[in-house]
Structure 1
Amino acid sequence: MSKAISTFGALKLAQDQIADLDQQLLKRKLRTTSSACNPNILVSGRELKAFCSNDYLGLANHPEIAKALTEGVEKYGVGSGASHLISGHNIAHEQLEKKLASLQTPYIPQAQALFFSTGYLANITAITSLARLAPQGNTSIYSAKLNHASLIDGIRLASAQTNAAVTLFDHTELQTFIESIKNDQRPQKIIVTDGVFSMDGDLAPIKKLLEIAEQYDALLLVDDAHGFGVLGKQGHGILQQENIYSDRIIYVGTLGKAAGVSGAFICAHNPFVEWMIQKGRPYIYSTATPPAIANALLKSMEIIDSDEGKQRRAHLHRLIDIWQKEMHFSTWEKISSCTPIQPLILGSNASALLAAKLLDDAGYWIPAIRPPTVPIGSSRLRVTFSASHSEDELRALIQTLQSIERHILEKKL
């Protein structure tokens, strides 16, 4: 017996909104992979050369890390069973947090670390709990305009919960921001910024922001998702690269990008982390990440700190140099970056989608990035490099991209 499908209010709204996104060329689509994260990846049965992952050091399929994950399952099982504050805090979590804190101790005094299942949860925990340090309405949050969605959502939630005042600033022009914070009479101020901006690949002016934080008695929260493992002599991130030391810094690092596994961490001066354990709702009420993941990450941290990690970073930076020297376009805008993130600005949604389609036809996977991820009119290809890419593979991509640009210009598409 067939059942009639009704079209009620919410269902129709969903259908109409999705149709509207499709018409604006903003509808996103899932693509399914069936192989390990590598430069060559199986996508719906086709092998494509992937220049789109955040596996910057090529550790996502590292045999020693895979072995450590398997050993972790054999030791600790599959699940953690509860939140950290109930019974889910395993010795593997403890060892990982101590290791992560030790990496940041040269830059943050009395550093303590907290491990999370995602960077999204880490950012929301840090911002909402810190906003609760001061009484209602006594916190100001200053956020870089191009911050990641997880920071933006954490700030929105903190503002709703504590009536914190929120001000956006341009990280490339700080004078207006300085005037705002200089006249701010609220007793608590928090400056929030990405370390590496994920869509442009440029670095936040951390030293200058820290100077401002010190002058106007503010905390500085740095989300170094795309810097940890890549920046700095030993890959410890942007604080190491900029040679910074301060108890005002709340450092957030991601472990599913350069570290090649999964999760994230907050590292800060001990009292701040202790406060987050007491008041960070996402931490308190989330089941702990499986300890086997923490066991794998301990091996990943070992590799990042080793000669192998140094060699992988050196190769990655050679790829960046080749791109900067050899990648030239007639009309597409190339944004220079010292990181593995190398965006190409095409402008319209249609242009970005067409270029991504032609790349796919040529055997490459580089998705089009469109609003709301980037501002309207700045749709782009976000090219990312991995230490697993070879120089020959990168040069072949350069030739392909230049050929696609010429094709689009000739056809006036």
Structure 2
Amino acid sequence: MEKRQKRSDNLDGLFWRTASALPNHTAILYFRDGEWKVVTYEALKIEAVQVRVALSCHDPRIRQTSKDEAQNKSLAMESLTTTLVAGDNVQAESRCFEVQVVGILSSGPEAVACILGVLPSYGYWYISPQYTKREVSELVERIQPECILVEESFLCSTEDIDSVILDTLCIFGTNFKVISTKYVKRLSIRRPETLAYVVPTSGSTGIPKCVYVPHASIMPNICDFVHLFKVTPEDRIFCAAPLTFDPSVIDLFLAFCVGASLVMVPSSVLRTPRLLLQVLLEKKVTVLQATPTLLLSLGPQRVKESLLAHGSWLKVLALGGEVFPKVPVSHCIGRGCAAKIFNVYGLTEVSCWASVWEYVPEETSASHEVEWMPIGKALSYTEIRVLRKTGEEVEDGEEGEIHVGVSVLLCQTRQTD
């Protein structure tokens, strides 16, 4: 399939074009109830449109063909399907001049369908089913979504929220509630119509904040990695990052950009190294983005003899989110391993990854004095500088602080009280 992604695209635009071009191709391969199940691009599109319709029926600000169609979901779905598949930039035309956020409390392919249904008109915020009621309530206070799509089995997590049930819908056979919150969006950012998603940070690098990420900030990452990883419709991309973290956006839209397949498993499998390695091998995963901790948890010797051995299906291993430890990772690589291994570095505040460096064992094996690997070269529209505390650039060999900036639309942040 011809790669038609553009840096000016929105995330959802990548999916709609691919779903139109490859409707019968596998979009998601996921494990549930003891068996593997397949979701095609056509099936995922249908569920995403259903989410879009449910939201549009309760939001007069979203463009609809007529008031009568808004009252008739079947007609509205048919109209919206035609509009979205046509590849138009629906988001830019339908957004208001305020930032609107929709929360998503679900898991698996249902959560992905919700994300795709939300994106044409809103930014999304993913709520982990593992959050407690208190955590959900506190995050709602911070992010202030206008409504939340809640899988019925997780509805108890929203009991402490001042909300009203607006609608009910069924996604892949799972019942959902659309609940409204008491908030009217109060955040104003530059070009708000470009908002893609919101990520709350824990404050590990400072004060806890909410990061509002526009499409223009994340799209260069997608385009860069599609090219660097040489992703094709035949690839299988494993979703290792929880949807609460922005690397998950890379996993999702690397696949949707070209028609590759996502491999998704429950969190229980991610926490069980033996099962996780078995999945990676049996499902012939070709692209894996993970933390060094996750890789090493699989067991260096087992990885060396299978996942990173001669003849493995894996062609790309991107390690990020933590410092890249040269020595432990080198112990995972078997003789004749053909996979390309990358160190990716970035900050949520500048939209996921800022730089990339390819690790070539033969070129670095002699550098025993180097314990950690370089962060590499800056990705598109990203600038990295090492500065003194006075703000001046350091000389070669001098220590300093890394400063990362972007030349496209900046992510916006709001600190918590």
Structure number with the higher helix fraction is: 1
Structure number with the higher strand fraction is: 2
* Larger RCO, structure (CA 8 Å, separation 6 or more): 1
**What TM-score results when the alignment is normalised by the length of structure 1?**
0.33
**What TM-score results when the alignment is normalised by the length of structure 2?**
0.33
